[in-house]
Amino acid sequence: MSNPTPEVVGSQKAYEQFLLEAEALADADVRPFRADGSLALHNVEMGLDAISPHVDRLKAELPTVDVVALQQLPDLALAVIYAAAQVDRTSDGSTGALIEKARVSRTLLLTSAEALAVAGVLPAHDVERIRVGTGSIDLAQDNIDLAALMTKHAAAIAGKTAVTPEQITEAANGGTELLKRLKPKGTRSKDPATEAVALRDRFWTLLATRHKELRRVGMWLWMDEVDRFVPALQSRSVRRKKTENG
């Protein structure tokens, strides 16, 4: 039985250090945060501890690997923990659920709309206009616009898409509700809870993306034994003995 991962307090300094990079991620690449931040930090530190005796070899034989970026992973994990804590303070979780649901429905409707546009069933310029937008507000609006487009051309798309009328209605309603939260009536400010969720997801995506490079290094060093030395972010494997350096 593995020991529980101790709770770790995040770092505001690390959060501010990586904020611009997190915000610069493409919306399409952002993945929802469903993880234990403290466990991620533990596994990052375990992986770095494993490769540290091999740093000189990495620099010589894998010159394209950014060792400094790898060594910053614990700070990035602390930034994730801090970002997640901001969500806990500002939201009951319902806004985050709406955002995740909107991402899923946008992908479903947009994928179908693009295929229908290629087939000449839907106007390609309308689909392209919807596709190019970015941001949380645009995510909500995309659901509304895609639902409206498919409703307008309901007769033309009948029998040519797996998207159901119920899913179209759900996308429209979900997009409308999310848009209300992002743009509260009578103000231009965004919902702090929504922003906190979006930033938390961005920090998590940044960490997950950069941790892949650490895993690649681990695979290069230990091949099939990589999980013993550089565990996945949410792995609860037992810590190896210090004598097992590969």
CA dihedral 7, 50, 47, 82 (to 10 degrees): 40
On whether both 102 and 76 belong to a single domain, the answer is no
Asked which of 45-49, 91-95, 235-239 is least confident by mean pLDDT, the reply is 91-95
User: In which domain, by residue range, is 151 found?
Assistant: 94-191
The closest of 194, 226, 224, 229 to 52, measured between CA atoms, is 229
On whether both 18 and 140 belong to a single domain, the answer is no
Q: What is the mean pLDDT of residues 9-34?
A: 89
For the chain, the C-alpha Rg in angstroms (whole number) is 22
Summarised one tens digit per residue, pLDDT across range 161-185 is 999 999 999 999 999 888 877 765 4
Residue 140 to residue 236: CA distance in whole angstroms: 36
Note whether residue 236 is domain-resident.
Answer: no
Summarised one tens digit per residue, pLDDT across range 214-231 is 999 999 999 999 999 999
Note whether residue 2 is domain-resident.
Answer: no
Domain count of the chain?
A: 2
* Other CB atoms within 10 Å distance of the CB of residue 85: 17
Does the pLDDT at position 74 exceed 90?
A: yes
pLDDT band at 152 (very low <50, low <70, confident <90, very high): very high
Q: Are 37 and 84 in contact (CB under 8 A)?
A: yes
Per the prediction, the chain carries an average pLDDT of: 87
CA dihedral 138, 142, 144, 148 (to 10 degrees): 140
Does the pLDDT at position 188 exceed 80?
A: no
On whether both 103 and 181 belong to a single domain, the answer is yes
Note whether residue 164 is domain-resident.
Answer: yes
Residue 30 to residue 197: CA distance in whole angstroms: 11
Summarised one tens digit per residue, pLDDT across range 45-66 is 999 999 999 999 999 999 999 9
- Residue 178 token pair: 């999310």
